[in-house]
A and B are shown apart, each in its own frame.
Chain A
Amino acid sequence: MGAKGVIKKGEYFDSVTLMNVARRLGAVAGVTDSAVVMGTAANKSILKNSGLLLPEFAGAGDTDLLIAVQAGTETALADALRKADAYLKESRRGSSAKGGLRASSLDGALALLPGANLAVVSVAGRYAGGLAMDCLQKGLSVMLFSDNVPLETEVELKRFARDRGLIVMGPDCGTAIIHGVPLAFANAVRRGSVGVVAAAGTGLQEVTTLVSNEGVGISQGIGTGGRDVKTAVGGIAFLQGLDFLAADPQTKVIVLVSKPPDPDVLEKITARAAGIGKPMVAVFLGGDPAALGQGRISAFATLEAAATAAVFLAKGQGIEKSSEYLARRHERIWELAKLDRSRKKASQKYIRGLFSGGTFCAEAQVVLGPIVGAVHSNAPLQGHPKLEDPLRSVGHTVVDLGEDEFTVGRPHPMIDYSLRDKRILAEARDPETSVILLDVVIGYGSHPAPLDELGPVVREAIAVADGAGRHLSVVCSVTGTDADPQNRSLVAKGLEAAGAAVLPSNAAACRLAGEIVRGGEHHV
């Protein structure tokens, strides 16, 4: 058993490319562990934790590429290092062959694409702010996917943009849909009359896909990043988005999606909404709809309720029709739950929710609270207890697998299912588990073949419980559309074939999970 490392001075690759190379390297025969990372301090500490911070990396800096391999034999080591080189070369070749001419800088890009009006920035956070400012100065609006951008930088960027008639979506803006074009992690939705402003990325995906799946379309989906609605930022992008949708002739109905804004920001939003003549619905997830829905805005507790209201409003029908529609859905869910409930053992008391989307984890607490009471979470909403050890479920537990403790040094759980796969099986073995609750997010940027990976795991989980004489319920939603590369219907059918119940929305899935474990009487 030995380990060997190579430094490639000044060779830069983006993190996704490196993860792909690392993944392929891990599959090389004889390799027990490997890492391919840029030599930043953060990456070095990750290497240290996995025992791969080799002495040869001592002098490496931020712009040096580090390749570390651990293998059983010298030959395997040499073979792996050679392959790492080949994979890296391939990635370069791929990008130059497919992409044609590439620019090396913003100026170069603008020369190749005159009239460019948006920059999508996804470089490491400490560089992202400066790059975003360059883009604004050249007259481009910015979608800032990067996170770890300082708050004061965000404020500076957003003020600068607003004063020049531009907008900064983000930082930490995972998704947007402009003129029907999906940006970053977005879905292929119908175009139509519902405009959305969202300070929650997965929330935007859920609302736009639910609207689209009901046959209504999206005019624009504007992301703002989660911090926009904090006092420090003052809702700059959120208000810009609202103003735009108010004036946009394509937009008939406006949906606002966010965690509860700070009170002064909410006040601004409410004041702005007072002058808008279009129907407006909002979901301020985790807040009290009665307190938040003021003036002309109708607020709802869940993404599902807000999206459905928007659908009915867009069709020219009243909000009460939407409530009736959802009540019928709840009725069906209750019927479904009864079937499962009767097959449970006494020990099976709890829901174990494993979420790749943080917004879904929050929505789960909103839906489950009234049905089952307190729910433990590593990202608890007010009134719910903090899960002490995110790796160990306690009672009813919902885990956000996108939180930092799970994602440092590995891809986001919407791309890399491996961590959740293991956790699903662990929960299945727990005699207290009654329901495993999942979100599956498809669309551009997400896992290209979710069924291939999740299907067998669901089957195995159910079989494991079955072997111990327990009926395990696996309940999930699939966020996406049939136009997405993965095709929502195909994924849903496949998961049902594997034994999962697939619901039309995350809120509906949470409700089914809640009704399965709830004792007692029918209650909607």
Chain B
Amino acid sequence: MSSLFGAELKTVNIGLASFKETLDAVKAPAVQVAWKPPIDADPKAMAVLRSRKAEIAAANQKAAAILLSAQPALVGMGIAGEVIPGMKKNLLLHAGPPIGWDRMCGPMRGAVMGALLYEGLAKTHREAEALAASGQIEFAPCHEHQAVGPMAGVVSASMPVFIVKDEEHGNFAYCTQNEGLGKVLRYGAYSEDVIERLRWMEKTLYPTLKAAIEKLGRIDLKNIIAQALHMGDEVHNRNRAATSLFYRLIAPAVARTTPDGETAAKVLEFIHGNDHFFLNLSMPASKAALDAARGVPSSSMAVVMARNGTDFGVQLSGTDGEWFTGPAPVPDALFFPGFTKEDANPDIGDSAITETGGLGGFAIAASPAIVQFVGGTPEDALNYTLQMYEITAAENTVYQVPFLNFRGTPTGIDVIKVVEKGILPFIDTGVAHKQAGVGQVGAGVLSAPAEPFRKAAEGLAKRLA
């Protein structure tokens, strides 16, 4: 007992905060633990996981090492139908876990209709709606085709996509070009101007960028993301710095490879005018790194967190392609003037792939501007990031938080830690209107729902039992 009585009393207070206030009042050194009860998982499953603790820890270490060693780079562009494995004319990819037309939320349905109009498979939105419901169109998650899509995340065969390669492990990831803000397909808008913009992106933006990327050979995305974190981005809800860095790299190549100056200027203006342009690169960069870490047996590390506006889904490295899902929550958001929480759709999009890879909400301490935007303080941001270290398998070796003395961001979500500690992944995200076509109504933060993580832990236990 010499450790207790032989030294100054230093107390960790777990539970009633009033006891900590007493310790503060008498100036005794103490720390409060904001304890939360664990998630209510099947005790038998948790016992299995506990009995295999060392094996799971080793597997997670391996999975995290793969994730951290990934080298995502932008290596080219192509047409979805030609480059995405398994892509075909009557297939639409969407964000989040699998879902049929009948259960799709408003913005997802709008995006599906828009994509059918864009593909020329339907002439009017009524025709598009009937076709989507007819069973002739197949739906599949982007994540099952090495792709990711923000918000509704709908990808159709004719859409141009970025090709991102994990140069360390040789796998690829795909993502469409970001359309900008306002009425856009990813928020479920399908009006004529939306389709027009998509056509311009296909006919003008795509060939211009494709040529410029070919000229450069490759663009190191990991490097851009690491720099952007030092410049106030978390590359999910804030991509201003990363977009600027990308612009600096691509602009000379665009100037050199574009035959006419006006086209070059329009393309560069489009990127300049869209602070989120880089989101569609930070996402596939994260996706490529996480896909490399798939398939480590016994690993409880998440390789996917994704939402389709109805369900929130999780996949683990150690459970193959199995989806663990639960209802998606509505984000706690700051709304644009004229909108309220009543207008908000439940959480939607594959963009939580950034959090899964140690960015976004997990790196929010690097992005104080975002915290203010969602109504918090820089100290809140710090606490959010610090909390995420509790549920991650590793600290990033490249992505850093300057304010935490350049500590690596919390990376690689361990679902067992999530369940045991009752701490849920923190996501900062855009919020869609629940009706198709209205667009973004706000931005906010949310904790992931408990159910998918409980099911994932139980699912891993089932495999190990």
Contact = CB atoms under 8 A, between A and B. Distances in A.
- Asked if A and B are interacting partners, one says yes
B256 interface: no
B1 A248 contact: no
Contacts of B182: none
Interface stretch (A175-183, A325-333, A369-377, A395-403): A175-183
A378 interface: no
B14 A181 contact: no
Given A96-B380, A120-B15, 10 more contacts: A14-B17, A17-B17, A105-B421, A108-B33, A109-B31, A115-B7, A131-B14, A135-B14, A145-B16, A444-B22
A16 B380 contact: no
Interface string B1-36: 111110111111111111110110110111111111
A124 B37 contact: yes
A113 B29 contact: yes
Contacts of B422: 12, 63
Contacts of A520: none
Nearest to B423: A104
Nearest to B450: A10
Which 6 pairs show the lowest CB-CB distances between chains A and B? A122-B15, A444-B22, A141-B4, A113-B31, A104-B387, A122-B16
A102 interface: yes
B38 interface: yes
Contacts of A188: 26
Nearest to B36: A12
A118 B4 contact: yes
B12 A109 contact: yes
A109 B9 CA distance: 15
A116 B33 contact: no
Contacts of B26: 181-182, 188
Nearest to A219: B5
Contacts of A123: 14-15, 35, 37
B447 A10 contact: yes
B17 A120 contact: no
A240 B382 CA distance: 41
19 contacts: A9-B450, A95-B32, A103-B386, A105-B35, A106-B33, A108-B389, A109-B12, A109-B32, A115-B7, A116-B11, A119-B13, A120-B19, A181-B28, A184-B19, A184-B22, A244-B5, A248-B5, A444-B22, A445-B22
A497 B264 CA distance: 89
A365 interface: no
A246 interface: no
B9 A166 contact: no
B383 A96 contact: yes
Interface residues of A, number: 62
A267 B163 CA distance: 79
Contacts of A117: 3-4, 7, 9-10
B4 A14 contact: no
Given A102-B32, A181-B9, A63 B37 contact: yes
A165 interface: yes
B14 A9 contact: no
B13 A120 contact: yes
A244 B1 contact: yes
Contact residue range for chain B? 35 or more
Contact of A103 (B4, B22, B34, B39): B34
Interface of B: 1-5, 7-20, 22-23, 25-26, 28-40, 329, 379-380, 382-383, 386-387, 389-390, 421-424, 447, 449-450
Contacts of A106: 12, 14, 33
A99 interface: yes
A218 interface: no
Nearest to A63: B37
A460 B33 CA distance: 44
Contact of B19 (A101, A122, A244, A485): A122
A99 B24 CA distance: 9
A105 B11 contact: no
Contacts of A186: 22
A116 to B, nearest CB: 4
B75 to A, nearest CB: 39
A105 B15 contact: no
B11 to A, nearest CB: 5
A165 B1 CA distance: 5
Contacts of A115: 7-8, 10
Contact of B30 (A107, A113, A167): A113
A78 B3 CA distance: 53
Contacts of B383: 96, 101-102
A411 B11 CA distance: 25
A104 B421 contact: yes
Contacts of A178: 4-5, 9
Given A63-B39, A122-B15, A183-B19, A104 B34 contact: yes
A364 to B, nearest CB: 28
A4 B28 CA distance: 44
Nearest to A243: B1
Contacts of B10: 113, 115-118
A112 B30 CA distance: 9
B170 to A, nearest CB: 36
Contact of A240 (B1, B3, B18, B39): B1
Nearest to A62: B40
Contacts of B9: 117-118, 178-179, 181
Interface string A113-143: 1011111111110010001000100011100
Contacts of A99: 17, 20, 32
Interface string A30-58: 00000000000000000000000000000
Residue of A99, A105, A165 contacting most chain B CB atoms (<10 Å): A105
Interface in A181-216: 181-184, 186, 188
A146 interface: yes
The CB with the most chain B CB atoms within 10 A, among A103, A124, A145, is that of: A103
Given A103-B31, A120-B13, A96 B379 contact: yes
Contacts of B30: 113
B455 to A, nearest CB: 14
Contact of A145 (B15, B32, B380): B15
Given A16-B18, A101-B383, A102-B32, A165 B3 contact: yes
Contacts of B1: 141, 165-167, 240, 244
A63 B421 CA distance: 12
Nearest to A179: B9
A61 interface: yes
Contacts of A62: 37, 40
